[in-house]
Structure 1
Amino acid sequence: MQILQINLERGWRGGERQTLLTACAQRELGHDVEIIARAGSELAQHARELGFTVHHARQAVSLALWLSLHGARFDILHAQTAGAVTGTVLAKPFHRRPIVFSRRTEFPVSSGQLFTKLKWKCVDQLVAISQAAAAEPRRFGLAPIIIPSATPPITPDTHRINTLISTHQLQGKRLIGTSAALSVEKDPLTLIQAAALVCQDHQDVVFIHWGADGSSSEASRALIKKLGIEKKYLLLGFQHSPERLYPALSAFVLCSTYEALGSSLLDAMSLEIPVVGTRTGGIKEVLADGRGLLATVGDAQEIAKHLDWVLSHPAEVSNMTALAAQYVRNEHDVSRMAQKYLALYTHLSR
């Protein structure tokens, strides 16, 4: 099967990682996979390094033009982002290929509803990565199917872990980590407030925050300074494969206000690291049934209380993390995800 994976994002976040994981797994299963990405993007670079044929488009219009000329030679066009599906749908009268769209967000559609509904109706199959991501399409009368994101086995990077500890003088410290951009929907301000509460009771705890700057960067730095926790809350910026550093953590936390799934949670769970998350979107699905601890969105005290429990109850935490790791192996396997998409592709291509 000839497959084109489409993702025009500039940066490298969960959706871009999932795009490349899907492409790699489908290639390993014997299919011809090409990728169209923004020139100079992280995805384009990584895909090229892995030997994929990579085409370039900058936005929906240039993507539509490229697909109008070349899209017909593929059996399936898989749009991995909202921008990608716009260009793919615009070119449909010319390429006439089946379109799959993976919705990776749970944001409510508050503006442009008519255009979004029409665009989604032009897709041959809309896929949601969680029940939360499926809610808006269902509100529009569509019938998305659920194919969750996946996480591959993670090999700890001992050298990077040792460098992290020595560079920031973290010997003998217990580390609580998060991996999230400093943007409003990730709610770093609530996490910083929770961190200050935890550190009052646990002098050996340091918070590690991996993530690119965003709309809350300035406010986050100001709050850290105001609370006097500059040495207790380390903003380490964007890093490739932060999950390979997770074995250094005593706990992982994600405080999003909106989150379709939270692949960073899956990484931590797969490594049997206890997880605290907010009761929203896909997080509450992933951490259900005792696989993690859930707190009210925006409630710093409840998040701190859960983290305190994790730090203070190692025996109970061990049972929770074993359950979580088994869940990830069963429900979020990369090969299984790729095969589900391939079954869908085959059905649509008949």
Structure 2
Amino acid sequence: MQILMVNLERGWRGGERQTLLTATELQQRGYHVTVLARKGEALFKRAAEAGLRVKGVGGNGGLFFFLLCHRKAFDVVHVQTAGALTVVAAMKVWLQARLVYTRRTSFEVKEAKAARTLAKWKRVDKFVAISHAAAQAPISMGLEVSIIPSAVEFVPPDPDQIIAFSEEQHLAGKFVIATCAAFTAEKDPLTTIRAVHALWQQRQDFVFLHFGAGGSELAAAQQLIQELGLEQVYNIVGFRRDIENMYRLMHVFVLTSKQEALGSSILDAFLYEAAVVATRAGGIPELLDDGRGILCDVGDAEAIATACNQLLEDESLCREMVAKAEAWVVEQHAIPLMVDRYCDLYNHEHQS
């Protein structure tokens, strides 16, 4: 079976990682997979490094011409982003392939765009969402949706990198609280900073590390850190390719999102045994159910600070929560399980 995976996003975030994990596992199972990515971007480079067949285009225009030239080459076209789906759905009549789409956001569909969005979604042969929250909008429009949660990959530790970073950040003797999130409005970094400030009023034995790319809220975040006098405790680290090593340093992982389809960074925190405090946004409650973490209301910095303090104070609670979360993520979010579900869809659509 010939499968085309389409993801033209810039940078490296959860969707790009899931595209790479899925394509790699499919290739190992004997499927003929081609990754179509934006030329020169992170997914394009990492797919090539992984030994995958990868094609690069400059954007949606390049996607259009690629599909036009290869409209008979694939059995399944699996689109990973909404922008690319607009192009592929418009070309559906010319493609001799079944169209699979994975929705990785939980944003509500605005009324002004509802009719156009529904028309696009109706051209999808198999609609997938990564959580119940991500599935809510298409289901409300009468579409059938398969829920296939994201997977997480265990990466062996690099002790030298971990030690070097710990020394660089002067982490010895301190609790490490951290987040991994871009500085965008939906991630709500200002609430994260206010929560750190509230916790700092109670105790000064920790450091906060903010991993992730920049964004529209970066300048406001830097200003708030300065206004609250947190320069010595709130460290903006930026993007790191070896983020898996960084999770191993964390005692508590915090995510203060306003919108989150699933929260794949929480899965990493589970896997590398960091306790989690997060907001009731999108698919996050699905992850933190059954005592796997502490949930707080969106924007409630005081509650987030209180939850972090509780975990640092109560070692028994923290250990129990971490053990439960780690066992659950290994069982429910393994790469083979995710790809099994996609293979069932591909095979069903191929037979159709």
| TM-score in terms of structure 1 length | 0.98
Q: Distance in 1 between matches of 2:14 and 2:302?
A: 28
The answer for the alignment partner of 2:323 in structure 1 is 322
Query: Alpha-carbon deviations, 1:296-344, whole Å to 9, x = none?
Result: 0000000001001110011111111111111101110101101110110
Alpha-carbon offset, residue 201 of structure 1? 1.9
Contact 1:157-1:245 within 8 A present in 2 as well: no
Query: Alpha-carbon deviations, 1:203-252, whole Å to 9, x = none?
Result: 11000000111010000000000000111000011111312211111110
Unaligned runs of 5+ in 1: none
The answer for the alignment partner of 2:50 in structure 1 is 50
Within 5 A, what are the aligned runs for 1:86-235? 86-110=86-110, 111-235=112-236
Q: Distance in 2 between matches of 1:164 and 1:241?
A: 11
Q: Which amino acid aligns with 1:68?
A: L
- CA shift in 2, pair 1:87/1:46, >3 Å: same
The answer for the alignment partner of 2:36 in structure 1 is 36
Within 5 A, what are the aligned runs for 1:264-303? 264-303=265-304
Contact 2:5-2:79 within 8 A present in 1 as well: yes
Secondary structure in structure 1 of the residue aligned to 2:262: coil
Alpha-carbon offset, residue 273 of structure 1? 1.2
Q: Which amino acid aligns with 1:195?
A: V
Q: Distance in 2 between matches of 1:343 and 1:71?
A: 23
Secondary structure in structure 2 of the residue aligned to 1:54: strand
Q: Which amino acid aligns with 1:16?
A: E
Which stretch has the larger CA shift, 266-275 or 181-190? Answer: 266-275
Pair 1:242-2:243 in alignment:
yes
Within 5 A, what are the aligned runs for 1:58-97? 58-97=58-97
Contact 2:75-2:96 within 8 A present in 1 as well: no
Secondary structure in structure 2 of the residue aligned to 1:9: coil
The answer for the alignment partner of 1:335 in structure 2 is 336
Q: Distance in 1 between matches of 2:60 and 2:167?
A: 45
Q: Distance in 2 between matches of 1:241 and 1:288?
A: 28
* Count of aligned positions: 350
The answer for the alignment partner of 1:27 in structure 2 is 27
Q: Which amino acid aligns with 1:306?
A: A
Contact 2:188-2:258 within 8 A present in 1 as well: yes
The answer for the alignment partner of 1:256 in structure 2 is 257
Unaligned runs of 5+ in 2: none
Q: CA RMSD in A?
A: 1.1
Secondary structure in structure 2 of the residue aligned to 1:85: helix
| TM-score in terms of structure 2 length | 0.97
Q: Distance in 2 between matches of 1:11 and 1:113?
A: 28
Q: Distance in 1 between matches of 2:80 and 2:124?
A: 12
Secondary structure in structure 1 of the residue aligned to 2:291: coil
Secondary structure in structure 2 of the residue aligned to 1:19: helix
Q: Distance in 2 between matches of 1:161 and 1:208?
A: 14
